[in-house]
Amino acid sequence: MTATAEPGGATRADTRDSDEPRPASAVVLEVAGLDVRFGSGPGQVHAVRDVSLTLTAGRCVALVGESGSGKSTLGRALLGLAGPNATVTARRLHIHGADALAFGPRDWRTVRGRRLGLVSQDALVALDPLRPIGREIAEPMVAHRLVARRDTGSAVRALLERVGVPDPEQRARSYPHQLSGGLRQRALIASALAAQPDVLITDEPTTALDASVQARILALLGQLKADGTGLLLISHDLAVVEALADEVAVMHEGSVVEAGPVAEVLTHPHHPYTVALLDAVPGRRPRASAGGPPGAPRAAGGGADADGDPLLVVTGAVKHFPVARGARRTAVDDVSFTLRAGETLGLVGESGSGKSTLAGLVLGLLAPDSGEVRLAGRPWSRRPERERRAERHTLQLVPQDPLSAFDPRWTVARILGEALAAVDVPRPDRRTDALPLLEQVGLTDAHLDRRPSALSGGQRQRVAIARALATRPRLLVCDEPVSALDVSTQAQILALLRELAGSLGLAVLFISHDLAVIREICARVLVMKDGRIVETGPVERVFTDPHHPYTRELLSAVPGEIGRAARAGTVPSRPAEERTEMTEMTEKN
């Protein structure tokens, strides 16, 4: 390989022409029998077990698994960056034909950035927040002596242009916090491309982003692949994988349990874990009834209750928050809706759209600046807390992060006891009454004396649901109840919620940023943007025939959909994309 590449690769085609010719199927990285262990002795953790992979220019290999499956560790180990406590062994680890097992620190440095680039999750922290992105992007070129430090300007501009950042001259001087999430991620990709590596290792490249931005970043990665860059895509999200990958390896507890071409693995999975993972993807699961969402028939068959007075009525609710120096932000803007007993209503929107504020208003934890919330036909938001207290048991919250919703010093028995006390269960009976609650959510008396910190994420969420049910509420407000959970746990919790809502006849206000989750559990949906409800209707109608442009944008941003579009060659055109991201930026301004 010559080290005299074109400065920064002004355009991809130029670089390729002037560089040594690289066969399209060039194997860049080959690894066999890789193991990563952390620590030593009895406390040793065997994070990656006997993994074999081959990365090729122009192809994308996906590594799928839930958090803790060892996929990120594997990605780092391929760069020689598994960390000081890690022991990496392999039968074979070849990078560009060189035996990386014999690499010293100096050899690794010649490979990092130059042969293998890294793009990690959340560019806000993956780029140095104290340096302008131009300097970050120039760093690999300087480190590998491709370009003299003072001549990096034009190369940086070309890279920014290539990844679709508008106004590169200006943006190169921006700091990461001044850019929108999408532009930031593009800048991070540009910095990974700067020394023209043959393969990018992308570790959850879209996870921290909103759905619509996610789709555009995936399109960019697809474009890079088409231009000849190999990709190792590490992701927990099967939809992302489906959109981009040629081959997939499923990781579970450090081992690859199944591998093969994407189409084959995703349609005909062999290993039970792959099957479970696929089943767990919201929207992929078989529906309870073919015609409509599971909530719909029940709501219709709910009898007089469903046709009677609505349980929750929100009319013209407005909530402002003061921001710096006297200004105020309108978090909820003139929102009205109703919720009937036994009905499951979805509330969808991206982060910052005002969903959680609306939940606070419904729960009576926040007071609306104008408008009203009525519960069971009686005023709710306009009553003093003293009177409201006696009726609080009728509606309960299932929070996003149950760990922070429990007093860290308390055991499960005491947590449930506090809730039972709220409906006047005498102290001696609380422990016995807590047991059926736990059984209802699939836990046992073995969990009674544990502290929340000693439970798994799914178990915690079950305890949170049990606490919410302890007061025998009529309405559950679920605020992103599954977004902090792994996919397979997600599926279990959703099934539990659906079953409980059905059997107890609960009304549910289900808040989520995830359309697939909403579609699975709700009968009717509200779409929220910038504090307003922009669209509402039966969930199937909204999904198949969205009226509002924002809903359409949200839907097209579901990774599976964009993936199919990308494959068919109908990637959203770049100008449109720039416009949205520019708006996003000016909003932050």
Partner 1 sequence: MRAAIRPVVARLLGAVVVVWGAVTCSFGALQLIPGDPVNAIVGTNALVGPEQRELLRERYHFDQPLFIQYADHLGRLATGRLGDSYQLQQSVWTVITNQLWPTVELALWASLLAVVLSVAVTVLTSGRSRWPRRISSLVELLVVSTPAFWLGILLLTVFSFHLGWLPVSDTGDPRSLVLPVVTLGLPIAAILTQVLREGLLTALDAPFVLTARARGLAEHSVRSRHALRHSTLPALTLTGWFVGTLLGGAVIVENVFARPGVGRVALQAVSDRDFPVVQGVVALSAVVFVVVAAVVDGLYAVVDPRLRRRTGMVAA
Partner 2 sequence: MSLARRLPRPGLLIAAVVAILMLVAAIHPALFAGGGPAEGDLHATLQGPSGRHWFGTDQLGRDVFTRAVHGTRYSLSIGAAATGIGVVIASGWGLAAALSGRVGDTLLMRAADILLALPAVLLALMVVLITGKGVFGVTLAVAVGTAPGFARVIRGQALVVRRSGYVNAAVGLGVRRPLIIVRHVLPNTLAPLLVLATVTLGTSISTGAALSYLGLGAQPPTPEWGAMLTEGQGYLGQAWWIALFPGLLLVAMVLTVTVLGRDAQARSDGRTS
Instruction: List interacting residues with partner 1 (CB under 8 A).
Output: 76, 79, 81, 84, 105, 109-114, 116-118, 120-122, 125-132, 139-140, 143-144, 174-175, 177-178, 188, 191-192, 194-195, 201, 324-325, 585, 588-589
For position 427 contacting partner 2 by CB under 8 A, the verdict is no
Question: Helix crossing, 457-470 with 487-504: angle to 10°?
Answer: 20
Secondary-structure breakdown of the chain: helix, strand, coil percentages, each rounded to the nearest 5: 45, 20, 35
For position 84 contacting partner 2 by CB under 8 A, the verdict is no
DSSP state at residue 39: S
Instruction: Give the residue among 366, 257, 256, 260 at the shortest CA–CA distance from 321.
Output: 366
Determine contact, residues 331/355, Cβ cutoff 8 Å: no
At residue 531, φ and ψ (nearest 5 deg) are: 85, -5
DSSP state at residue 405: G
3-state secondary structure of 189: helix
List residues bridging with 63 in a β-sheet. Answer: 234, 249
Residue 144 or 252: the one with the smaller Cβ distance to partner 1 is 144
For position 485 contacting partner 2 by CB under 8 A, the verdict is no
C-alpha torsion 470→476→480→485, nearest 10: 40
The whole-angstrom separation of Cα 546 and Cα 549 is 8
Taking the complex as a whole, the smallest distance from the CB of residue 238 to partner 1 amounts, in Å, to 24
Residue 79 or 215: the one with the smaller Cβ distance to partner 1 is 79
For position 389 contacting partner 2 by CB under 8 A, the verdict is yes
Cα→Cα distances 203→74, 232, 477, Å: 10, 8, 33
Taking the complex as a whole, the smallest distance from the CB of residue 438 to partner 2 amounts, in Å, to 17
For position 392 contacting partner 2 by CB under 8 A, the verdict is yes
* Region of 100-108, 167-175, 391-399, 569-577 interacting with partner 2 (CB under 8 A): 391-399
Among 376, 405, 495, 534, binds partner 2 (CB under 8 A): 405
Residue 271 or 392: the one with the smaller Cβ distance to partner 2 is 392
The whole-angstrom separation of Cα 445 and Cα 332 is 42
List residues bridging with 328 in a β-sheet. Answer: 322
Among 113, 399, 457, 531, binds partner 2 (CB under 8 A): 399
107 binds, among partner 2, partner 1, none (CB under 5 to 8 A by kind): none
- Considering only residues 202 to 261 of the shown chain, the ones binding partner 2 according to CB under 8 A are none
Number of other residues whose CB lies within 10 A of the CB of residue 318: 16
120 binds, among partner 2, partner 1, none (CB under 5 to 8 A by kind): partner 1
For position 407 contacting partner 2 by CB under 8 A, the verdict is yes
Residue 359 or 539: the one with the smaller Cβ distance to partner 2 is 359
331 binds, among partner 1, partner 2, none (CB under 5 to 8 A by kind): none
3-state secondary structure of 156: helix
- Considering only residues 336 to 375 of the shown chain, the ones binding partner 2 according to CB under 8 A are 363, 365
3-state secondary structure of 168: helix
191 binds, among partner 1, partner 2, none (CB under 5 to 8 A by kind): partner 1
Task: State which amino acid sits at residue 272.
Answer: P
List residues bridging with 249 in a β-sheet. Answer: 63, 259
139 binds, among partner 2, partner 1, none (CB under 5 to 8 A by kind): partner 1
Q: How many CA atoms lie within 13 A of 214 on its CB side?
A: 30
For position 404 contacting partner 2 by CB under 8 A, the verdict is yes
List residues bridging with 55 in a β-sheet. Answer: 29
Taking the complex as a whole, the smallest distance from the CB of residue 392 to partner 2 amounts, in Å, to 4
Question: DSSP assignment of 213-242, as one string?
Answer: HHHHHHHHHHHHHHTT-EEEEEES-HHHHH
Among 112, 430, 467, 513, binds partner 2 (CB under 8 A): 467
* Region of 102-110, 287-295, 413-421, 572-580 interacting with partner 2 (CB under 8 A): 413-421
The whole-angstrom separation of Cα 134 and Cα 128 is 11
393 binds, among partner 1, partner 2, none (CB under 5 to 8 A by kind): partner 2
Taking the complex as a whole, the smallest distance from the CB of residue 441 to partner 1 amounts, in Å, to 36
110 binds, among partner 2, partner 1, none (CB under 5 to 8 A by kind): partner 1
For position 397 contacting partner 2 by CB under 8 A, the verdict is yes
Q: What is the total count of residues that contact partner 2 (CB under 8 A)?
A: 26
Taking the complex as a whole, the smallest distance from the CB of residue 466 to partner 2 amounts, in Å, to 12
- As given in the structure block, the two tokens for residue 300 are 């219709």
Residue 285 or 393: the one with the smaller Cβ distance to partner 2 is 393
- Identify the H or E element spanning 576: helix 574-588
Which chain residues interact with partner 2 by CB under 8 A?
363, 365, 388-393, 395-397, 399, 401-402, 404-409, 418-419, 421-422, 467, 471
